[in-house]
């Protein structure tokens, strides 16, 4: 599997990253371990998780995902060969089961990191990410920005807290997630001002139904060596085509959880059907088309795949062997021009 440089570091991460947010909810610990074995055997060295996982987030399951990964790491002894990424939870009324309402203050970061290290059974995190900004801004399905006077925890406090752990060696590097172009450049400028390392990555949604990252952040990724870790490359599974014609497969995410309806709707259905047609003409599956498209984008450092079954995971892993021709890419662009970003 091809590898890409993580920011300006000496770390090489696999083209695909194994996402984990179903572990502890849709997947058992044993299934999580089998996924890890499959992924590592296929050449993946990059695993992404978060303190709030699994999703949907709730008090009785919070932290299970990191624990699934931790038990596998403890049993397998492969920690030094893997790049482990996790995230500290941002603020939100819907997250009060974490520290009575999490934020990105120094105290919360200290507590969050200690909990993640314990669950992961490791003494350092390779990439520690701010799951979403403390300030109110447009993320999680919002395209347009509407200004609010509330600011949240000052960025300087958050960065100084991260820098303390960088210097202590409990985290090696840090990154952003669900961040905007302004926020990314502000963090970079403030890090320079404070004389501390810059963020090395941005983990944002990116897929054929949501290419909003290209508008402002793609240039930032290139010019500031802060590449994209693309999440939801299959748009919650919609781009696999399994939900077309109003199908709702048993145990599928959109069947089980109505909160993940962001990638549904008439325009999404039309675009997905068109992309599925392109895939059929190319002799590949819709999922392989969607993942290969993300894999080939120059600003993407790693493409975060996830699956609930081993068959799905195998299909996703096979996307690294698919290279889309210029004709296929032009067909994709034609659909995008007609139906641009139907699902932020």
Q: DSSP of 219-252, one letter per residue?
A: HHHHHHT-EEEEE-TTTTTGGGTTTGGG---TT-
Q: What is the pTM of this model?
A: 0.96
Both tokens assigned to 239: 């781009």
List, for the chain, all residue ranges whose pLDDT scores fall below the cut of 70. 251-260
- Dihedral over Cα of 235, 236, 241, 244: its sign: negative
- For 109-119, the pLDDT digits (tens) are 999 999 999 99
Cβ proximity of 28 and 57 under 8 Å: no
Between CA 144 and CA 147, with CA 146 as vertex, the angle to 5 degrees is 145
Cβ proximity of 263 and 235 under 8 Å: yes
- For 196-246, the pLDDT digits (tens) are 999 999 999 999 999 999 999 999 999 999 999 999 999 999 999 998 887
Cβ proximity of 121 and 153 under 8 Å: no
Cβ proximity of 163 and 193 under 8 Å: no
Residue ranges and CATH numbers for the domains of the chain are 3-236+297-321 (3.20.20.100)
Helix (H) or strand (E) holding 65: helix 64-76
Cβ proximity of 255 and 249 under 8 Å: yes
- The pLDDT score that the predictor gives to residue 260 is 66
For residue 164, the tally of other CB atoms under 10 A from its CB is 16
Q: Is 231 a catalytic residue?
A: no
């Amino acid at each position: 599997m091809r590898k890409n440089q993580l920011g300006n570091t000496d770390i090489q991460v696999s083209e695909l990253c194994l996402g984990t947010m179903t572990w502890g909810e849709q997947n058992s610990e044993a299934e999580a371990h089998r996924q890890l074995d499959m992924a590592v055997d296929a050449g993946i060295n990059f695993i992404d998780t978060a303190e709030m996982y699994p999703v949907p987030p709730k008090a009785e399951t919070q932290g299970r995902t990191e624990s699934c990964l931790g038990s596998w790491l403890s049993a397998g002894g492969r920690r030094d060969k893997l790049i482990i990424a996790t995230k500290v939870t941002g603020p939100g009324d819907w997250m009060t089961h974490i520290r009575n309402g999490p934020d990105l203050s120094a105290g919360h970061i200290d507590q969050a990191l200690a909990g993640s290290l314990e669950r992961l059974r490791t003494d350092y995190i390779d990439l520690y990410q701010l799951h979403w900004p403390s300030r109110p801004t447009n993320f999680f399905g919002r395209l347009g920005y509407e200004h609010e006077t509330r600011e949240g925890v000052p960025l300087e406090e958050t960065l100084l807290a991260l820098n303390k752990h960088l210097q202590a060696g409990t985290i090696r590097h840090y990154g952003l997630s669900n961040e905007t172009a302004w926020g990314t450049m502000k963090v970079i400028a403030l890090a320079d001002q404070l004389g501390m390392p810059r963020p090395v990555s941005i983990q944002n949604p990116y897929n054929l139904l949501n290419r909003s990252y290209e508008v402002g952040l793609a240039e930032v990724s290139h010019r500031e060596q802060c590449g994209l870790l693309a999440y939801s490359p299959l748009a919650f599974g919609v781009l696999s085509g399994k939900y077309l014609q109003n199908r709702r497969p048993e145990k599928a995410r959109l069947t089980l959880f109505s909160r993940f309806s962001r990638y549904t709707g008439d325009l999404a259905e039309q675009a997905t059907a068109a992309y599925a047609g392109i895939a059929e003409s190319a002799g590949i599956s819709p999922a392989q088309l969607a993942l290969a498209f993300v894999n080939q984008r120059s600003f993407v450092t790693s493409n975060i795949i996830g699956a609930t079954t081993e068959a799905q995971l195998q299909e996703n892993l096979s996307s690294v062997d698919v290279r889309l021709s210029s004709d296929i890419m032009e067909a994709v662009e034609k659909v995008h021009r007609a139906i641009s970003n139907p699902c932020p």
